[in-house]
């Protein structure tokens, strides 16, 4: 998948991420700050920030946050939100998660929330996060996860990833918890904490955030309603008036560099 596609998708829908409840108010945001326990002297880097919600949650607790995104249109959206909230200790820069433009050991904390499923090479992101962190620095990741580890779970994971990619062609692949744990270990991190939590999604708002066409909306709805058993159990679809609600699973990973 081309990174140009990521920029195209998010550039066209940048403003929606400023008001997205999932990104701005999701339960994982406060929980991430609670788990990381940021310190006043820290310099933090938020990778693939979109509208900057994660960076802004950490900003009151650290000395500085560098807010980065691959998509040029996201930078003014995040800048506007920071100004509206009176957040002054942030800088905003374009950066590729897999080739960060920073020196070795520049940061005490790297965060990345609800974004890695867009990265073509998770191993490169993990290596870059490890490189720019100081010794004992923290890498905190939140992302959607899929079932995995046995044949039925792997099939469900593939179905869920295909469903996500239909809505957003820049979706590369959500990993399983086991794959994330292996990625942390491969990059040399000591994993300090892992937790998962379901998040209920309103179908129409979820699909609309990426500006899908009416035929795509209809196909997404069909795939949700007609999902095979393992994926259907994961989605737990329910009627919500004229809409549908369904479940995605989110995981938080916190690791320390040696």
- Residue 42 sits in a domain whose CATH number is 3.40.50.150
The predicted pLDDT at position 25 comes to 56
> What confidence score (pLDDT) does residue 112 get?
98
Contact 193, 35 (CB under 8 A): yes
CB 108 within 8 A of CB 129: no
Per-residue buried b or exposed e for 156-186, using 16+ beta carbons within 10 Å of the residue's own CB: bbebbbebbbebbebbbbbbbbebbbebbee
Most distant CA atoms of the chain, gap in Å: 52
| Residue 86 burial (C-beta neighbours within 10 Å; 0-12, 13-18, 19+) | exposed
Q: What angle do CA 112, 71, 30 make, to 5 degrees?
A: 30
State how far the Cα of 60 lies from the Cα of 92, in Å rounded to an integer.
16
- Answer whether 245's CB lies under 8 Å from 202's CB: yes
Domain assignment present for 37: yes
Q: Is 57 inside a domain boundary?
A: yes
pLDDT digits (tens, 9 = 90+) for 206-249: 999 889 999 999 999 999 999 999 999 999 999 989 999 999 99
- The predicted model scores a pTM of 0.89
* 43 occurs within a structural domain: yes
166 located within any domain: no
**136 vs 233: CA distance, rounded Å:** 40
Residue 45: inside a domain: yes
pLDDT digits (tens, 9 = 90+) for 73-94: 999 999 999 999 999 999 999 9
- Structure token pair of residue 245: 């609600």
pLDDT at site 5: 58
DSSP of 128-141? HHHHHEEEEEEEEE
Contact 79, 109 (CB under 8 A): no
Please identify every stretch of the chain with a pLDDT value under 70, giving residue numbers as ranges: 1-26
% of the chain residues with pLDDT over 70: 90
For residue 79, give its domain range: 3-145+171-198+249-256
Q: Is residue 230 part of a domain?
A: no
CA distance 239 to 112: 32
Q: Is 253 exposed, middle or buried (0-12, 13-18, 19+ CB in 10 A)?
A: buried
> What sections of the chain are H helices per DSSP?
3-12, 16-19, 21-25, 27-36, 53-58, 74-85, 122-132, 151-167, 177-186, 203-208, 214-225, 229-235
Mapping DSSP to helix (H, G, I), strand (E, B) and coil, where does residue 93 land?
Answer: strand
pLDDT given at position 18: 47
Does residue 220 lie in a domain region?
A: no
Q: What is the domain count for the chain?
A: 1
Is residue 216, in this structure, part of any structural domain at all?
Answer: no
């Amino acid at each position: 998948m081309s990174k140009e596609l990521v920029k195209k998708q998010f550039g066209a829908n940048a403003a929606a991420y400023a008001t997205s409840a999932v990104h701005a108010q999701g339960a994982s945001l406060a929980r991430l700050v609670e788990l990381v326990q940021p310190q006043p002297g820290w310099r933090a880097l938020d990778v693939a920030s979109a509208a900057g919600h994660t960076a802004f949650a950490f900003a009151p607790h650290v000395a500085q946050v560098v807010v980065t995104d691959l998509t040029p249109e996201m930078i003014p959206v995040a800048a506007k939100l920071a100004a509206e909230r009176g957040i002054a200790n942030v800088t905003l820069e374009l950066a590729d998660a897999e080739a960060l433009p920073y020196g070795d050991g520049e940061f005490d904390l790297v965060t990345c929330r609800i974004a890695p499923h867009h990265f073509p090479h998770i191993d490169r992101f993990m290596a870059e996060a490890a490189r720019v962190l100081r010794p004992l620095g923290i890498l905190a990741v939140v992302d959607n996860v899929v079932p995995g580890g046995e044949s039925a779970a792997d099939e469900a994971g593939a179905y869920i990833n295909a469903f996500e990619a239909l809505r957003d062609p820049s979706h590369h692949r959500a990993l399983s918890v086991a794959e994330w744990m292996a990625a942390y270990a491969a990059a040399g991190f000591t994993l300090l904490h892992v937790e998962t939590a379901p998040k209920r999604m309103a179908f129409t708002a979820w699909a609309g955030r990426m500006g899908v066409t009416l035929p795509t909306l209809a196909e997404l709805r069909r795939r949700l309603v007609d999902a095979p058993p393992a994926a259907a159990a994961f989605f737990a679809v329910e009627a919500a008036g004229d809409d549908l609600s369904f479940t995605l699973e989110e995981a938080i990973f916190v690791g320390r560099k040696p």
